[in-house]
Amino acid sequence: MFTVNINGKDYESAHDKKLLRFLRDDLHLTAAKDGCSEGACGTCTVLIDGQKVKACVPQLSKLEGKKILTVEGIDPSEMRIYEHCFAMAGAVQCGFCIPGMIISAKSLLDVNLSPTRQDVKSAIKGNLCRCTGYSKIEDAILMAADFFREHKEIPEEPKSLHMNEHAKRIDAVEKVNGTGVYTDDIYLPDMLYAKCLYSKYPRAVINAISFDKALEHPDCVEILTKDDVPYNTIGHLKQDWDVMMGVGDTTKYVGNVLAVVASSKPEKLDEILSLIEVDYTELTPITSPFEALKGDAPLIHEDGNVMSRANLVRGDADLAIKNSKYVVTRKYKTPWQEHGFMEPECCVAVPENDGLLIYTTSQSIYDVQRECAQMLKLPPEKVHCHAPLVGGGFGGKEDMSVQPYAALMAWVLKRPVKIKYSRQESLAYHVKRHPMEMEFTTACDENGILTGMKGIIIADTGAYASLGGPVLHRACTHAAGPYNYQNIDIFGMSVYTNNVVSGAFRGFGVTQSCFATEMNINLLAEMAGIDPWEFRRRNAIKPGDILPNGQTADPNTNMEACLDAVKDVFYQNKYAGIACGFKNSGTGMGKKDIGRVLISVENGKIHIRTGASCMGQGIGQMVLTEICHVTDLDPALFVFENADTVRTPDAGTSTASRQTVMTGEAARRAGEKLKLALQGKQISEIEGMEFFGEYSAKTDPLGAIKENPISHISYSYGAQVIILNDEGKIEKAVSAFDVGTPVNIQSVEGQIEGGMLMGIGYGVTEKFECVDGYTKSRFGTIGFMRADIAPELKVILCEPKEEDKFPFSLGAKGCGELCMIPTAPACALAYYRYDGKFRQELPLKDTPYRKS
């Protein structure tokens, strides 16, 4: 028997186990999160005898006689200060890292109430945050120190809420104090745990599988195989993904599932899986799109190895290039990138009536419903999906991961089942950013005015399509950059391989093609004898110009102002790099693009209901602000409901920077109806009433026969500057962005800061490795930036003039993706100016962060 003292109380355990497992699985103290179970992320941080310790590391046997403090044990009056400061500073996005941050903050502030920013950075350097860029977390901790030191009172909450204000997010407090529920925090009576058996090889024929020994294991409750799957093919857009594989099948990547096992003891699952015997004939995997395109390459899918093509032609690029004074042609290569959301994928499926209730971490519960219902051959209404809090997504939680397997097991056994990826499973099996190889030719006249460009893009989509089609489209439609020229010829192909699947990732293809475009522009500027800022300023798109994809730039296009805002900082720093970017808001391209919000008045409270999934970007605060802005009601009157297929209308996937525009406008429309109904009335007088808002953006498909097709309903624009110090380290990053009217200033700044740091990771510090079809990376060594090496981040918001504002969602445009698009090329230019080496591949080599 092991006795440990937690939050002042003694607890006993019959078995020795990791502290984190005891806290979560036995005591259901879930504020300490399980982000990796391998000591790399810090989400599980607790205090042991006043020292911060990662709870996933020590065994209970080492903790007898010690005093353990979790977030649940922090004195409520002290916690209120943290809640206020973290919410006020805008330090909370997905929130998954935040309880661990609070513990690290407490470990500092318990001994030092006058810390410097460097002290704070040092205190939280063991805590990874993928959302915020750390800056606002540091602000929050410094603010808390001030409150404790000066015995400050927490101010009253304001009674109104409007656009373009500093306001606390509606979901901040529960994420700070650890009471907010993520899927892995759900523990149900009689719940089983399940885990999948994955293919040993990226490409192999499965000759035989024997389950005999595994079934004899005393803790094995069930093993399910392909034969148990009612309908074996799913897929986010293209239906090409095998739910499971069985005897006679040829595997497509190491993420193919051969069996799912269930046990009431999660610690026994690996043991049971190890008893399943599989006989394979190993085949040589195809690990590059160029191999896959060879005439004699085996077909990974029956319909061929080319998953998708895109071609964007405007004007006459050949002629324009031929007649241009300066022409540059270069090849570029961009890598996979791991999303690195702090919360690994998790799903709890529960029998409900004659169907299922699925709790899951996802970017769209309606997609989960559609795909799981299809697999189980059930009508969608029998698959009820609910989103608890989601600990980050960045595009990586659009595809199914663990959901089909939890749903299948719960459906067969009629018992609750939880499946959670280990961190290594998450790394190996969920989608990544598409690697792309590009050859771009760009031309300009003697004055540095861009004249035309041609490009070829080859993308590795891995074993399945995922969102590879639209990612390729976006790479092509944005490939010419936010500049005013019209002779474009871009061709792209996305190709199947036996590598890890590539899919959606913040920036969605534009991150890749922007690197090639901006790098060519740097060379043209040099040839024309014009500096990089001036060259971009001469070509910047402005209202009324025609975007390279043929769309007329709207009056709210504010690219020039973004460049003007970073002019001084660029010229004042010797090793400054600059790049520009633009990004659509909304799926566009003629696709269905609808936001929906339902407001209902229930028991004196106004419920906001939308299926738009928040994975940290702040959907709740966004819709609340739109509604409060038009109604002038007190935000305390509102309840924001998490996405749920029974309670909340389908607002589409949280992707393509679309929710602020689509669901924001739907919220505004619902809010206007509420305002009308309330005229001269009290809330009690409209009890039971509902107000529905919907907004559907109308756009044209790629290749529409129109002079100026509307590809997307809106675009955001931005310029970034990256500054190196004399040692070549990134000292500061500055973003000037036109994202329309900020809904909430801290949230917009926080998104941009987090995006900049993610972009620096993509450009310089991170490397995800998939070698011969096998994931080689570990979470702790990918190269995610930590607080102590993160540079200073500065955000400048360049709103269009009032009369030019985007006409929907009270002028707000998307900002979730643009923020990391120009970062890598800005880093590359900074290093070019630092050492004269022109780098054509990411992550950049020969830097203090990554040697060649």
Shortest reach from residue 123's CB to ligand FES, in Å: 15
- For residues 130 and 134, what is the distance between their CA atoms, to the nearest angstrom? 9
Shortest reach from residue 87's CB to ligand FES, in Å: 12
Nearer to ligand FES, 778 or 850 (CB): 778
**CB count, 10 Å around CB of 331?**
12
572-591 positions binding ligand FES, by CB under 6 A? none
| Binding segment (CB under 6 A) for ligand FES, from list 91-99, 318-326, 716-724, 816-824 | 91-99
* Interface residue with ligand FES, options 4, 23, 36, 793 (CB under 6 A): 36
* Interface residue with ligand FES, options 30, 37, 512, 655 (CB under 6 A): 37
* Interface residue with ligand FES, options 6, 29, 31, 35 (CB under 6 A): 35
276-295 positions binding ligand FES, by CB under 6 A? none
Nearer to ligand FES, 130 or 712 (CB): 130
| Binding segment (CB under 6 A) for ligand FES, from list 130-138, 243-251, 647-655, 675-683 | 130-138
Report the residue count for the chain. 852
Nearer to ligand FES, 37 or 809 (CB): 37
* Interface residue with ligand FES, options 85, 131, 619, 824 (CB under 6 A): 131
Nearer to ligand FES, 38 or 445 (CB): 38
Nearest 5 degrees, angle CA 372-CA 373-CA 374? 90
Nearest Cα neighbor of 472 from 299, 307, 652, 591 is 307
What's the per-residue H, E or C state across 754-808? HHHHHHHHHHHHCCCCEECCEECCCHHHCCCCCCCCCCEEEEEECCCCHHHCCCC
**CB count, 10 Å around CB of 329?**
14
State yes or no: residue 102 binds ligand FES (CB under 6 A). no
- Gap between the terminal Cα atoms of the chain: 52
Shortest reach from residue 220's CB to ligand FES, in Å: 27
State yes or no: residue 830 binds ligand FES (CB under 6 A). no
**Region of residue 270 (phi > 0: left; psi between -120 and 50: alpha; otherwise: beta):** alpha
State yes or no: residue 367 binds ligand FES (CB under 6 A). no
In this structure, what token pair is assigned to residue 344? 């690994």
Shortest reach from residue 765's CB to ligand FES, in Å: 17
* Interface residue with ligand FES, options 70, 132, 256, 573 (CB under 6 A): 132
In this structure, what token pair is assigned to residue 418? 């939880």
Q: Which residues contact 218 (CB under 8 A, 6 or more apart)?
A: none
- Residue 458 pairs in a beta bridge with 437, 493
State yes or no: residue 94 binds ligand FES (CB under 6 A). yes
State yes or no: residue 105 binds ligand FES (CB under 6 A). no
Q: Which residues contact 325 (CB under 8 A, 6 or more apart)?
A: 444, 445, 446, 528
Do residues 817 and 712 lie in contact, with contact meaning Cβ atoms separated by under 8 Å? no
Owner of token pair 């994931």: 775
Shortest reach from residue 712's CB to ligand FES, in Å: 27
Shortest reach from residue 362's CB to ligand FES, in Å: 16
42-81 positions binding ligand FES, by CB under 6 A? 42-44, 54, 56
600-629 positions binding ligand FES, by CB under 6 A? 616
**Amino acid, res. 755:** G
Shortest reach from residue 86's CB to ligand FES, in Å: 10
Residue 10's φ and ψ, nearest 5 degrees, are -85, 135
Shortest reach from residue 56's CB to ligand FES, in Å: 3
Show the binding pattern over residues 313-342: x = contacts ligand FES (CB under 6 A), - = does not.
-----------------------------x
Nearer to ligand FES, 96 or 332 (CB): 96
Indicate the DSSP class of residue 22. Answer: I
In this structure, what token pair is assigned to residue 82? 């943290």
Peptide bond preceding 800 in cis form (omega within 30 of 0): no
* Interface residue with ligand FES, options 97, 307, 541, 710 (CB under 6 A): 97
Judged by CB under 6 A, the number of residues near ligand FES is 25
DSSP state letters, 24-74 = IIIT---SS--S-SSSSS-TTEEEETTEEEETTS-BGGG-TT-EEE-GGGS
Nearer to ligand FES, 40 or 490 (CB): 40
Do residues 352 and 384 lie in contact, with contact meaning Cβ atoms separated by under 8 Å? yes
Q: Which residues contact 270 (CB under 8 A, 6 or more apart)?
A: 195
State yes or no: residue 476 binds ligand FES (CB under 6 A). no
Binding site for ligand FES (CB under 6 A): 34-37, 39-44, 54, 56, 93-98, 129-132, 342, 392, 616
